[in-house]
Amino acid sequence: MRSFGVGNPWFVVSRPQPRARIRLFCFPYSGAGANIFYQWASILPPAIEVCAVQYPGRGTRMAESAITRMDALMDALSPQFEGYLDRPFAFFGHSLGAMVAFELTRRLRRDYDRLPLHLVVSGHSAPQIPDRRPPIHALPDEAFIAELRKLNGTPDEILQNQELLGLLIPILRADFQLSETYEYQPEAPLAAPMAAFGGLGDPFINREELEAWAEHTTAGFRVRMFPGDHFYLNTNRGLLLQALARELAPYLI
């Protein structure tokens, strides 16, 4: 994969589209990197340039320390966008990525008076709803791994490989700490359309919690549900990308 922008490790693009109408910035879930969006560019219309966000501590940034606080992540990430606001853009984020995309949208409004054309949040309850799950980021390794199994997002071959676990656990702990220490602060709703996506079989997020995102926009809002659990975006990628393309289609005319 190639860096999106010369020398900028935050943005990764698998298929550059210099004539694209929209840049779609994609924010990964806990423990994941930009590579989970690698195939999206070959499925979405070429008028959409897929720009995956690479957090520190993974992929090509493995040697860097992962960020464990949302405000610190916003302080580091928001300035990276200053040179990439020359073209209309949209955001998609799943799980932790949904919260990062949401908070970044609010930060860009404050820092640059700019908003994405569309904000799509996925697999996460609205931020004003308290997390009903107990925090796990500080659990001992054995208990932490047991919780990862329940989430069903880490393949068994990784959970059973001590060498791979040694690399992955610090990243997951950092991401869970970032999520579990997040404190929502009310602000004015966004003047940007939003959509909230979720899995019909997600044991952690229900439709009502997705519908509560409507509070954060004064523009259009909709909820879309897909077959699958919390990680439906991997098991039903085609359906998700069809829906995402429909969300962005009005901006491609």
Q: Look at residues 131, 123, 142 and name the one whose alpha carbon lies nearest to residue 177.
A: 131
* Residue 3 pLDDT class (50, 70, 90 cuts): very low
Work out how many domains the chain is built from and give that number: 1
Residue span of the structural domain in which 51 resides: 2-134+183-251
Question: Is 215 a domain residue?
Answer: yes
* Residue 8 pLDDT class (50, 70, 90 cuts): confident
Question: Is 199 a domain residue?
Answer: yes
Q: At what angle do helices 162-180 and 141-151 cross, to 10 degrees?
A: 80
CATH no. for residue 53?
3.40.50.1820
* Residue 220 pLDDT class (50, 70, 90 cuts): very high
Distance CA 26, CA 97 (A): 8
30 catalytic per annotation? no
Question: Is 171 a domain residue?
Answer: no
Question: Is 151 a domain residue?
Answer: no
Phi, psi of 194 (to 5 degrees): -135, 155
From 95, 122, 125, 179, active-site residue: 95
* Residue 158 pLDDT class (50, 70, 90 cuts): low
Task: Write a three-state SS string for the chain.
Answer: CEECCCCCCCEEECCCCCCCCEEEEEECCCCCCHHHHCCHHHCCCCCEEEEEECCCCCHHHCCCCCCCCHHHHHHHHHHHHHHHCCCCEEEEEECHHHHHHHHHHHHHHHHHCCCCCCEEEECCCCCCCCCCCCCCCCCCHHHHHHHHHHHCCCCHHHHCCHHHHHHHHHHHHHHHHHHHCCCCCCCCCECCCEEEEEECCCCCCCHHHHHHHHHHECCCEEEEEECCCCCHHHHCHHHHHHHHHHHHHHHCC
Return the percentage of the chain with pLDDT > 70, whole number. 92
What pLDDT score was predicted for residue 83? 82
Range name among 8-12, 124-128, 148-152, 237-241 with the lowest pLDDT average: 148-152
Predicted model pTM:
0.93
Q: What is the mean pLDDT of the chain?
A: 90
Range name among 33-37, 59-63, 124-128, 181-185 with the lowest pLDDT average: 59-63
Question: Is 42 a domain residue?
Answer: yes
Question: Is 174 a domain residue?
Answer: no
- Residues 98-127 have a mean pLDDT of 97
pLDDT 10s digits, 50-86: 999 999 998 889 999 999 999 999 999 999 998 888 8
Residues 6+ apart with CB under 8 A from 224: 195, 196, 197, 198, 243
Range name among 16-20, 22-26, 151-155, 204-208 with the lowest pLDDT average: 151-155
Question: Is 94 a domain residue?
Answer: yes
Question: Is 68 a domain residue?
Answer: yes
Beta bridge partners of 223: 196
